[in-house]
Chains A and B, each alone.
Chain A
Amino acid sequence: MVVTLWFSFSVRNTGPSTIQLFPHMMSMAAIDASAVSKRYRTETALDRVDFAVEEGETFGFLGPNGAGKSTFINMLLDFAKPTQGSVSIFGHDCQSEGVAARERIGVLPEGYSVYERFTGRQHIEYAIRSKEADDDPVEILDRVGIRGDADRQASDYSKGMAQRLVLGMALVGEPDLLILDEPSTGLDPNGAAKMREILREENARGATVFFSSHILEQVESVCDRVGILQNGELVAVDTIEGLRSSLGGGTKLVITVAEFVQGMLESVRAVDGVETAVTAGDQTIEVTCVNDANMDILVELHSLGVDVVNFRTDEASLEDMFIEYTGA
């Protein structure tokens, strides 16, 4: 009763300011891009990109090389300034409050190089001092798998080892958000798997993970949502499931037949719900369609006199969807 009274009192008298008193109670996007564009003299690198990464999710930023992924990350880090629009991290504008925006994040940038005459351990120590954290450098080097090389000069590291080192620097201070630009560059398959494992652990700890990639397999296995960037435009933002369903249910039907018949593909394409139909090899037809169309296709083939030897359904992989979206 007392609580109710207090509440009604405060609502009546201090209405809007009651909400502003507790900004941390409102959900705040980890990354918020509002209509952000970047133009260079002759080309548009980013065109009105508009989306938000929510706290706690793992977000994959996809696109072919040159689509504008790094340009976007450069603006998050204030390496580049938007021509229009704005980006913010946990409510801090990345340009006007750059240092505050970078205080709670860990970054693996693209196109970096390690410091000359500095060992791996010194790099981690430098990140600890810069972030005013109190991590144990050895523990971090151990976690990214280069503990044995801690006291070697980092400029002698291989690309993969440097990548692990800078990931280690990013992990310093338990950041609330990890921003990783093509994190698996230079890593061998084991290293890439280790990277994914660390990203999962960090996400489980509560960190938001945002990373760009053109390698779809790793995105599919760790991401809650993906954004697809194409020629500077964001062409899709959704969960992988959501992308599947928006692409006609996302079912791929792989049908093995005894032999092809004239006009077969045209007839299949004419079936309601079929999106694409192509031949793959001598005896296989691949059809993407809505789920309901499966039987209709088989019936159509039967009526054409095509002998169906075998068939199976595949869920459209991220790669199929990616190709569909980007027209690659």
Chain B
Amino acid sequence: MTWETIARRDFEMAAGAGSRKLLLGLTGLSVLLAAYIYPIIGVEPITTARFGGFVTDWLTTVLPFVGVLLGYGAVVNERESGALRLSLSLPNSRLDVLLGKFCSRAGLLTGVLLVSLAGAGILVVYPFGELVIGRFLAFVFLTTLFGSIWCGLGLATSLVVATRRRALVLSFTLVFLSVVVWGAVETALRAGLNAAGVIDGDLPGPAKFFFGLEPGHVFQRVVSGLVTGGMADGPWYLNEWVALFLLVLWSVGPLGLAYASFARRDVS
């Protein structure tokens, strides 16, 4: 299993970079800050489970950026410099490279999220909050999964293009579409259809499902269904279990497609 060797080497290098330390430090700090503010401005009861609902908006905005920033250069940097040729001339497969890089980068983010969410839990519970351990652990797991999805999307761009610049542009396009454009289009469509009198209030189920495919939406649906318990009624395909399935699909699908392209192409 040489992917472990690659993961270890990448981790030693990636964790050492100053810019990455800053990026991850700020991410952790922002989670702690949210946990500090939540008992002050949140609505009673203050619990670790409801903290999940409070912080998801922030996480769905920040983690995509942090994730792709960690992932986008992972392979393409080495392809551009030629270090990838050194790795692949050893008895490593391209799948080893993918697994090693993913474990290293997603592991880095997961570590930071685990530590900062543990700290956040303490800040929420002490002095007046309530610890709802099961749901909080589910929230921690879902958050690390969501972070890994965006690391994976960054890594996927790293696998399919030939230069660092293109990987950066492509991954930021994804983040921009997902975080900014997708929700705006949904809102505009709803407003338009309402104004035209086609619908009254919400979009029909299939349209909601379509707009709900975006990873941030999926993450929020799973969190509200499994952690905070604030899921609205609707057709079965909008429930939290379908959303959980979609979340898992997001974590393996794009990487799988990117790998298929990476495995086929020449390392020039």
Chain A residues packing against B (C-beta within 8 Å): 74, 77-81, 98-99, 102-103, 107, 109, 111-118, 122, 126-127, 129-131, 166, 169
Contact A79 B81 (CB under 8 A): no
Bitwise interface map of B from 66 to 88 toward A, beta carbon under 8 Å scored 1, else 0: 00000000000010011101101
Give bound CA distance, A78 to B85, whole Å. 10
Contact B86 A169 (CB under 8 A): yes
Residue from B8, B17, B85, B264 having most chain A Cβ neighbours under 10 A: B85
Bitwise interface map of B from 5 to 25 toward A, beta carbon under 8 Å scored 1, else 0: 100110011001100000000
Give bound CA distance, A129 to B2, whole Å. 8
A-B contact pairs, 29 of them (CB 8 A): A74-B266, A78-B88, A79-B266, A79-B268, A80-B268, A81-B264, A98-B93, A99-B91, A99-B93, A99-B96, A102-B89, A107-B89, A107-B90, A109-B89, A111-B82, A112-B82, A112-B86, A112-B89, A113-B81, A114-B83, A115-B13, A116-B81, A116-B83, A117-B16, A118-B12, A129-B8, A130-B90, A130-B92, A131-B90
Whether B55 is near chain A, meaning CB under 8 Å from some CB there, is no
Partner of B91, one of A103, A112, A113, A116: A103
A113 contact set on B, CB distance < 8 A:
81-83, 86
Interface size class of B (residues with CB under 8 A): 20 to 34
Contact B86 A129 (CB under 8 A): no
**Nearest B residue to A108 by beta-carbon distance?**
B89
Contact A109 B85 (CB under 8 A): yes
Whether B242 is near chain A, meaning CB under 8 Å from some CB there, is no
A80 contact set on B, CB distance < 8 A:
266-268
| B45-62 with Cβ < 8 A to chain A | none
- A311–chain B nearest beta-carbon distance, Å: 51
What 9 pairs between A and B have smallest CB-CB spacing? A107-B89, A113-B82, A79-B267, A130-B90, A113-B81, A80-B266, A112-B85, A102-B91, A129-B5
Given A79-B266, A102-B91, A112-B83, 15 more A-B residue pairs with CB atoms under 8 Å apart are A80-B268, A98-B93, A107-B89, A112-B82, A113-B81, A113-B86, A114-B86, A115-B86, A116-B13, A117-B16, A122-B12, A129-B8, A130-B90, A166-B86, A169-B86
